[in-house]
Structures are given as structure tokens and as C-alpha cells.
Structure 1
Amino acid sequence: MRTPPSCPPAPPGRGAVLAGLGSYVPPRVLTNAELCGHRPIGDEWIRARIGAGSRRIADAEATVDLAVRAGRHALTAAGSAAADAVVLATLSPDRLCPAGAPEVAARLGLGQVPAFDLASGCSGFLYGLAVATSMIAAGTFDTVLLIASDVFSSFLDPDDWLMRAIFGDGAGAVVLRAGSAGEPGAIGPFDLGSDGAQADLLEIPGGGARARKRLAQAPDEEFSPYFRMDGPAVRKQAVVGMCDSVTRAVGRAGWSLGELDVLVAHQANQRILDGLAAELGLAPAQVLSHIETYGNAAAASVPVLLAQAAAAETLVPGQRVALTAYGAGLAWGSATLVWPEVRAVADDG
């Protein structure tokens, strides 16, 4: 895989600082036993290969609904009722058009602020974090509400029990404020990259312009509206890809891997998380995980875990923290921060 071009750390000055976190997961718990029914492959198999014992599934709620709940919690945690802009990262938009972020902003009572969606697979929160940080560092906005929300269960084939074993639903949000690039809670440096030559490893082939054009020419051709993934191929690359990305981000922060206290990684698979710990020389406890209870919440997995860890005081002020994700695109990203004094509201449904 080609090494992405170097992104030097931002110069000292204005930065984006973490000011509040929020998360929301729907109340319905889908256990392995319920998922598998009378199949010979059940709870033990799923736990051994994925690490999940259950996941949360949205029934009546959609992606914007979850986003509003998480966004409101983040604003409350930040002690604010306003934000200058809203960014929504999602793999599962409620509609192809329009974007969901303006509706989120309206329902949160934020007025006619700029609001837009961002699609970058399971790395969407990291990409959104980079975009929001850049908007604040440039002086365009003083506060940005970034939300990652996915009701990915609605894009899974009801008959594909393996995909349903992996994924769950949820939303996580952060409020970023203008501050000093050197203070605790300042986001960055970042490492971002992509490899579109492998776009077909994770995809939803139906519903977009390509499928619609093809169907107009060949009405009998079928394009599945459900997510599909070459799991083994992705798994092999995910550990190496995230390790390399974290190493670059940590180096740009001026840290060594030995100085890293906590890694918050995309909750794709417990085997991947264990591989990250081994490759980076971290103790298993340094790589946070909630996949056993919540599964893989797609783009929302990192911010949901962040908010839950902050609310539980698992994250302690002064810790050196790295964030990383890898997913459809292929796209990956990592970021660093020194954990600040910050509030979080984690809503467990």
C-alpha cells in the first residue's frame, strides 16, 4: 500500500478543543441467542470470531433521530445551546437527498447554521473531526457540533445473520470550540488516507447513480440494496493500516508509541483490536473496547466509545490519547489529543 503524503503538524496558534461529548444507543438489545435462533453456530462462535455478545438495534428510530439525541447530549455536556455549524458523518443516511445535518440542526434549535453530511465509511468520524478542526483553526467558525450516527441495521440483509452479528446502531457527538492548539483537548495532528482501488471490498451496490444508470439499460440486472463485505481481505489490512496510521499521527504529535496512554479504535472486531495492541506494543487494557455489548456501530463506534469512556471516567485528564478507524473507501484516519477536563453524557437508551 502506498504511503500517503506527509501532513505536517499544525503550527502553534488557534486550534479546535474538545468541549463536550454525548452518545445515544437505542434501547433494543439483540443478543447472539436471539440472532442465531436454532442455528448450530451460535453465541460461542460469534464471541470467538467477532467479540460481540449483543448489539443495539433501532426499531422506530432513524439516523437523524439518533443524531439529534447524541447532539443534544454533547451540547448539554459542553454547557451550550448553540453551535456555529453542524457536521453529520454517516454511512446510513435517512435519504439520498437532502442531507440529514440541516434537519438535525433545525431539531436542535440551532437556527439556520451551515450543516452538511460527510460520507467516509467507518472512518467518517475521524474525517469529520479533521474537517471541523480545520474550519475552527481557519477562523471560519468558533464552535462546531460533529455527530456520527448510523442505523446500519437497516442496510443489512435480514437473512445475512453474519453481518447482523457484526453491526449495531448508535450515535456519538462532540462539541469543538476555538482555543489554543497547544492546550489539553486540542485535536490533532491527524493522519488520513484512502485506497479507492479497493472500493469494492465494502459496498452497498444498489441505490446510487451507477446502479440506476445500469438498470435503465438492463432492467433485469440486479443490484443489492444491502451491505456486503469481503471480511477476510479487510481484516488483513485493517490491523496494518491502523497501526501505520496511528504511528504516523503519534509521531507528528512528537510522541513515541511508548508514551501513548490510550487508543480508541473503530470497534470492527475484537481480533482486530487485539492485533492493534500487539503490533503497537500496548497492553490490552490500553485499547478500549465495548464491542462485546454494542458490536460495530459503523461511523458512530469511535465517538460512542469516547463518550461512554469519558462518562465512566475511564479517560483521565492528562492522558495521551490516539483515535483511529479503518473502513469502506477504503479510508482510514487517526488523530491525537491530550485528554482534557471535559463532561460527557452517555445515554444507554
Structure 2
Amino acid sequence: MRIYSRILGTGSYLPEKRLTNADLAAELAQQGVETSDDWIVDRTGIRARHFAADHQGSSDLATEAARQALAAAGISADDLDLIIVATSTPDMVFPSVATMVQHKLGTAGCPAFDVQAVCSGFIYALTIADSMIQSGSAKRALVIGSEVFSRILDFKDRTTCVLFGDGAGAVILEASERPGILATDLHADGKYKDILCVPGHVNRGAILGDPVLKMDGQAVFKLAVGVLEETARASLAKAHMTDADIDWLIPHQANIRIMQSTARKLKLGADKVVVTVDQHGNTSAASIPLALDTAVRDGRIQRGQTLMLEGVGGGFTWGSVLLCY
């Protein structure tokens, strides 16, 4: 008898501070950087994003999303056997965000650790949790994507600072005899590290290199549209399914053009793609669980439907998860 990892509940959290493109353009203008709502929307599809308050870290956002997911699942933090947080913007070098979330939820004992695969992080974390559930190492897992990318942006570079936002999304996975995660597919290729990176690091109390995000947008776009189709088809093949079996595509919310291109390659209409990038911006590892929770709570996603989750991020990393919700 096969054991599946089934989503029991979802949750998300967005910081209170919301900036429309006009708001951001006004702030940037004070620094001599010119941009506009039309320019941002035309290139990205983004209309607004949320930024964390100075006192908020990834663990704070993650904890709020986790509480929502636990409530939706109808369980307590003490029922968890595993906590994984996907993030590229941890509160500290160490300990992990996951251990901080565990403490803030008022529980202890179960393994808790972070996964760093940038915008593919949630896909990686979900795959790891699925493997641990299938192996019997855990029965219930909390998987979170949480980011405060506003802390690593160069607000003098309008090609990158308009793209990103902060937020967190979470799911509770439970071992079940009913279908859940059907197939997963993960990849990475380090030769592309320079097209999307934060090249700074800490050395003896000082920051060496450049601690803000750098991106070659054209190179990222070209690579992303190819690998996203490939990984989606790989997961479908593993599950002996086809494009026509997908009820909802939930891609990493990076750029509307990338998302639309991937949907066309999979022969999916716009009405089958969950889009939140317009309101959230690119929230990196948080974007997929944020979009998932949004569509679950507004009623679009229903039990029994087939979902394709896929992401691509710095590293370069990419992957997909095909599941029955």
C-alpha cells in the first residue's frame, strides 16, 4: 500500500506595509531613480508588493503563515514531526529559521531545518518532506517558504528593486492512503550562478563583496522558460499523466511573461494559472505557497483537483511537484 503526503491545510502571511508601483516610484524618485507603473507592469505584470517592517524577520512571517496552516489543518504544533523552512533571507547566519519558528509556535523536539534553493526552495522543501513521510520518518510536516527580500535589494537598480516583495506561505503535509503528492522532479546547475546571485558574504565581522541582489534578466528569462516546461513534463511522465490532467498550474510568481510562456507550452489557458505576482511581486521561496493558499481560500482550488507546482531560482535550481489536492 502506497503512502502519500497529502496537504492537510495551507496558510500565508503578508506584511502590513503594501507599496503600489506608484508608491515605490515616488520613493525611488527621491533617490534619483526613475520608474513608473506602466514601465513595471509592462515588463513584469507586478502592480504592488509588501515589505516587512524593520522589526520583522523571516521567522516572524513564517510563524504567522504556520499558524494559519495549523488552524486550517485542525492540528496543533505539538502534532508536528518535522518543520522545514525554505528561505534565502534568514534572520541570522545560524541558527535556522525553522528552529526559531518551532520555538515561536511553542513546541520542541521534532527535527527543524532550513533549505536554501532560492526561488525553488519551497519545491525542494516539499520534496524533502514528502520523502521523509514516505520513508516513515514523519507523519505530519510543516513546510514553509518565507522571505524578506526587501533587505537585499539595491534601490538604485530599477531593473531589480521593483521585482521583489516579502511574505510567507505554509502547508501541513500528512501521511495518507489517499492520493496527495504524485511525483516530484528536482534539478540544479551551478554554472549559472552569476546570472542571479547576492555575491557578498560575512568575513570577520565585515561584509565582503556586494550584499545586494544582482540579476541578468534576459539570461534568467531564457533559462527559466525552458527548464520550467521540462520539469513539469518530467513530473507528469513519472505519474503517467499528461498536460490535460492539470487542473491548476501554480508557478513561481517571478514574471507574468515567464508564467504565460510556461502555460502556453503546457497547453494551459490563462484560466488555469494561479497568478498573484501582480499583488505580491516576486517573493522567492514564499511565492508558490502564497499563491496556493490564496487560491485555496478564495475557493478556486477544490479537493480532488490536480495541481502542478513549479519553480526556478538562483543556483541555478529548478523543479516541480505534481499533486492531488
Q: For 1:79 and 1:40, how far apart are their aligned partners in 2?
A: 48
Write out aligned runs for 1:124-139 (5 A). 124-139=121-136
Query: Paired residue for 2:82, among 80, 85, 90?
Result: 85
Partner AA of 1:290 in structure 2: T
Query: Paired residue for 1:164, among 161, 165, 168?
Result: 161
TM-score (norm 2): 0.94
Deviation of residue 152 (structure 1)?
0.8
Partner AA of 1:99 in structure 2: S
What is the aligned partner in structure 2 of residue 236 from structure 1? Answer: 222
Q: For 2:183 and 2:175, how far apart are their aligned partners in 1?
A: 16
Asked if 1:69 is matched to 2:64, the reply is: yes
Deviations along 1:244-293, one digit per CA (max 9) or x if unpaired, are 10011112111111221110000010011111111111101111101111
What is the aligned partner in structure 2 of residue 34 from structure 1? Answer: 23
Change in CA separation of 1:15 and 1:31 when aligned onto 2, cut-off 3 Å: same
Residue 191 of structure 1 aligns to a residue whose secondary structure is strand
Write out aligned runs for 1:220-231 (5 A). 223-231=209-217
What is the aligned partner in structure 1 of residue 284 from structure 2? Answer: 298
Deviations along 1:87-141, one digit per CA (max 9) or x if unpaired, are 1110101111111111110110122221111101100000000000111110011
What is the aligned partner in structure 1 of residue 145 from structure 2? Answer: 148
What is the aligned partner in structure 2 of residue 104 from structure 1? Answer: 101
Deviations along 1:179-199, one digit per CA (max 9) or x if unpaired, are 12xx24x11311111111111
After the TM superposition, list the runs of 4 or more consecutive aligned residues in structure 1 that deviate by more than 4 angstroms. none
Asked if 1:188 is matched to 2:182, the reply is: yes
Gaps of 5+ in 2: none
Partner AA of 1:71 in structure 2: A
Q: Is the 8 A contact 1:106 1:112 kept in 2?
A: no
Deviation of residue 222 (structure 1)?
5.6
Deviations along 1:184-233, one digit per CA (max 9) or x if unpaired, are 4x11311111111111111111115xxx39x9xxx9x9611111111110
Q: For 1:80 and 1:336, how far apart are their aligned partners in 2?
A: 25
Query: Paired residue for 2:2, among 7, 13, 22?
Result: 13
What is the aligned partner in structure 1 of residue 172 from structure 2? Answer: 175
Write out aligned runs for 1:210-229 (5 A). 212=203, 223-229=209-215
Q: Is the 8 A contact 2:12 2:65 kept in 1?
A: yes
Deviation of residue 303 (structure 1)?
0.2
Residue 174 of structure 2 aligns to a residue whose secondary structure is strand
Asked if 1:48 is matched to 2:34, the reply is: no
Deviation of residue 325 (structure 1)?
0.2
Q: For 2:176 and 2:162, how far apart are their aligned partners in 1?
A: 41
Q: Is the 8 A contact 1:35 1:161 kept in 2?
A: no
Change in CA separation of 1:170 and 1:40 when aligned onto 2, cut-off 3 Å: closer
Residue 282 of structure 2 aligns to a residue whose secondary structure is coil
Gaps of 5+ in 1: 1-11, 340-349
Identity of matched residues, %: 38
- Aligned Cα RMSD in Å? 1.7
Q: For 1:112 and 1:152, how far apart are their aligned partners in 2?
A: 30
Query: Paired residue for 2:250, among 264, 276, 282?
Result: 264
TM-score (norm 1): 0.87
Change in CA separation of 1:19 and 1:32 when aligned onto 2, cut-off 3 Å: same
Residue 290 of structure 2 aligns to a residue whose secondary structure is helix
Partner AA of 1:22 in structure 2: G
Partner AA of 1:304 in structure 2: L
Deviation of residue 160 (structure 1)?
2.4
Q: Is the 8 A contact 2:196 2:315 kept in 1?
A: yes
Q: Is the 8 A contact 2:81 2:141 kept in 1?
A: yes
Partner AA of 2:297 in structure 1: A
